[in-house]
Structure formats: C-alpha cells, structure tokens
Amino acid sequence: MAGLTITNIHKKFQETKALQGASFNVPVGKITALLGPSGCGKSTLLAIIAGLIEADQGTCAWDGERLQGIPPHKRGFGLMFQDYALFPHKSVGENVAFGLKMLAWGKEATQRRVGEVLALVGLPAYGPREVTTLSGGEQQRVALARSLAPHPKLLMLDEPLGSLDRTLRERLMGELREILSEMGQTALYVTHDQIEAFTVADQVVVMRAGTVAQIGAPQEIYQHPNSPFVARFLGLDNLLPGQARETPEGTLVSTALGEWPLEGTFHGEVTILLRPDQVHLGPGTGHHLRGTLTKSTFSGNMYRVTVDVQGMSLSFDFPASTTNLPAEGEAITLRFDPRAALQIL
C-alpha cells in the first residue's frame, strides 16, 4: 500500500502497555491526525515511526517496504515538535537552512530552497530577521518551514500548536492545513484536541489505550462515532442504555426516558446516543423530553445547556440567536425526530 502502513504495533515499557496492536495507513498527499487522550500511545507511535525507538512487535512500512533497521536520518521523515526550539542567535534563514546543511546541500540549492519554503509559509522577506523579533505565530511558521525544507516524504507534527494561546492556535490550525494540503504534503499530525484534529486532517485515527478505536474522515467520525468511547471523546455525552426490539413498524428502543423508533435493525441491549445538534427547543411536532434546565453557558456562537430529565443529565447546543431559553432552575421542553437524533453505538 502506498504511504505509511502501520501494522499491529505493540510496545511495552516495563509493565505499561503503551501500544497494543495499533494498525492504520497514512495515505500519500493527505493529512492524517492521530487523536486520543493523553497517555494513549501517540508519542510512542511517532517515536517508532521516526526510528527513535523499536516496537516489540508489528511493522512500519513506506510504500510497502519495511522500515525496520533503517536509521532515523535515512528514513526521509521530518518531525516538528510542540517545543520547536528555533536557534535564538541565528536568523530566520539560517534556522530554515539548518537541516539542509546537515544533509550537505550546496550553498546555492540551500538558498533557493530556503526562499521557497519561506514563501510557502507566507514569510517571503523574513530570511535576514532575527528569530527573537518574531511573534509566536511567525516563529511557528519558521519551524514549519525548517521541517519542510528537506522535502520530507512524511512530516510528523507532535502537538505543534500545544504551547500557543487559543486564539493563535485556532488561526494557525487553518493556516497549517492550507499550507500542507496545498503542497500535497503527506503528514501525520498528533493531537489530543478534537477540534484541532478535525480542522487540520483529511483522515482522523482515534486512539484508545494503545489501539485504534476508529478511522475516518472528520465528518464521518462526528456523524457516526462507532463506540461510546469515541462519542464521549468528541463531546457527545448523551448516552443512554436501552433495549431494542423488532416490531411490524420497525425497530423500537426503550430507555429510562421513553420508547422511540430507530433507523436500522437492532435487537437486545444497546447504547443509544441522543445527538445534541438534533434536539430543538420547545413543544411542536416530534417526540418530547421534559426536564429542568440546570445550567446554561453562553460561548459566543451558541448556548450549551444542561438539562436534568428524570435524574439523568443531558446536554444540548442551541444557536446564540435563541431568545426563549428558560432560566436555570426552570422547566424546559425539548423536541426531536428520533430517526435523526438517535444513533446506536
């Protein structure tokens, strides 16, 4: 298979099982995000791909050829860390040229390439500047230029925006995606932040405890999380245990909060997800939930509302333009179309 193929990787540190059979593919020309909570094995996997540590079991291959035994500097992969550590006493151009010098590029080719990558990251005239005079965002782009300069077959980015403040991070996520996808750069982007993964990547690999929980396009994963773990990790917390059964009218699921029709054929014990984006405020056509609004948080573009329904805490998002939201402590009525709002996990 083209690109990077990770097959059944295991790695133990003493008693800690950091990786327990991780497998996935990083396709050429696309950005793949490795997303998962802290401690799930993301950095260990990067170190194995880079050749910095060895797996106990399993293989990494590039275009079908195994990487085992190939030293890190011969793999042709680039790495960019959160702590991207530019040399403070060197100019922007010297920083970007650093890797090329190590690879013994000639002076002319180096100068040309430095100019090219600085233009690529939107800093064409920055070569002579001292890096200490740059803003955080500019330094980050210089670090990106430095890691792109040697034409890495695969660029690995380990939480590259981790140390920046939120506003800057949000802007740079979009910029990073634009630069990398315009170049057709094959990239593996490690993050614990769901929004970052979804913004940057074409494909997201969700990891859990050393294994792969789900792989798909961001939209696919958000629309169809395959397990309660993935749903919770994406902030889809309204999970209810239920009992599904077939009836002449289709599948019905009964839960502590009511009995609802479902798309598809299911039988027996299930976990259902009530999607927060498919539930609306107020009475009207549809199925209803009645409860008490316990908390409402305004975040600029929406209200996140917590509702207690028969002792169960559920959360929903309503647009910022909503005018008839009850106050905290008041009764609230919600309506939804079960076929759109309910999913079996």
Tokens (6 digits) for 258: 């009511």
Binding pattern for the stretch 291-320 against ligand ADP, x by CB under 6 A and - elsewhere: ------------------------------
Quote the least distance from Cβ 198 to ligand ADP, whole Å: 18
Decide whether 39 or 250 has the Cβ nearer to ligand ADP: 39
Quote the least distance from Cβ 18 to ligand ADP, whole Å: 3
- Helix axis angle, 136-148 to 166-183, nearest 10°: 30
Q: Which stretch binds ligand ADP (CB under 6 A): 12-20, 100-108, 194-202, 310-318?
A: 12-20
Quote the least distance from Cβ 48 to ligand ADP, whole Å: 10
Quote the least distance from Cβ 161 to ligand ADP, whole Å: 15
Distance in angstroms (rounded) separating the CA atoms of residues 297 and 28: 42
Decide whether 46 or 262 has the Cβ nearer to ligand ADP: 46
Quote the least distance from Cβ 39 to ligand ADP, whole Å: 4
Quote the least distance from Cβ 40 to ligand ADP, whole Å: 4
Query: Residue by residue, what is the 3-state secondary structure of 141-204?
Result: HHHHHHHHCCCCCEEEEECCCCCCCHHHHHHHHHHHHHHHHHHCCCEEEEECCHHHHHHHCCEE
Decide whether 41 or 338 has the Cβ nearer to ligand ADP: 41
Q: How far is CA 264 from CA 124, 241, 271, in A?
A: 55, 17, 14
Stretch 141-170 residues interacting with ligand ADP (CB under 6 A): none
Which position among 5, 25, 32, 44 is part of the footprint of ligand ADP (CB under 6 A)?
44
Decide whether 208 or 280 has the Cβ nearer to ligand ADP: 208
Decide whether 83 or 178 has the Cβ nearer to ligand ADP: 83
Distance in angstroms (rounded) separating the CA atoms of residues 177 and 197: 10
Decide whether 16 or 68 has the Cβ nearer to ligand ADP: 16
DSSP 8-state code for residue 227 = S
Q: Which stretch binds ligand ADP (CB under 6 A): 13-21, 114-122, 195-203, 333-341?
A: 13-21
* Residue corresponding to tokens 């991207």: 84
Decide whether 16 or 297 has the Cβ nearer to ligand ADP: 16
Stretch 14-43 residues interacting with ligand ADP (CB under 6 A): 16, 18, 36, 38-43
Helix (H) or strand (E) holding 205: strand 203-208
Quick check: 13 binds ligand ADP (CB under 6 A)? yes
Decide whether 41 or 160 has the Cβ nearer to ligand ADP: 41
Distance in angstroms (rounded) separating the CA atoms of residues 50 and 65: 15
Quote the least distance from Cβ 12 to ligand ADP, whole Å: 9
CB count in 10 Å sphere of residue 164: 17
User: For residue 121, which amino acid is it?
Assistant: V
Tokens (6 digits) for 273: 């997800």
Tokens (6 digits) for 261: 């029709």
Backbone angles phi, psi at 312, to 5 degrees: -105, 135
> Does residue 29 sit in helix, strand or coil?
coil
Instruction: Please check whether residue 306 is in contact with residue 295, taking contact to mean a CB–CB distance below 8 angstroms.
Output: yes
Decide whether 38 or 285 has the Cβ nearer to ligand ADP: 38
Distance in angstroms (rounded) separating the CA atoms of residues 197 and 203: 9
Number of residues that bind ligand ADP (CB under 6 A): 11
Quote the least distance from Cβ 253 to ligand ADP, whole Å: 35
Quote the least distance from Cβ 146 to ligand ADP, whole Å: 23
Tokens (6 digits) for 98: 């650093």
Q: Which parts of this chain interact with ligand ADP (CB under 6 A)?
A: 13, 16, 18, 36, 38-44
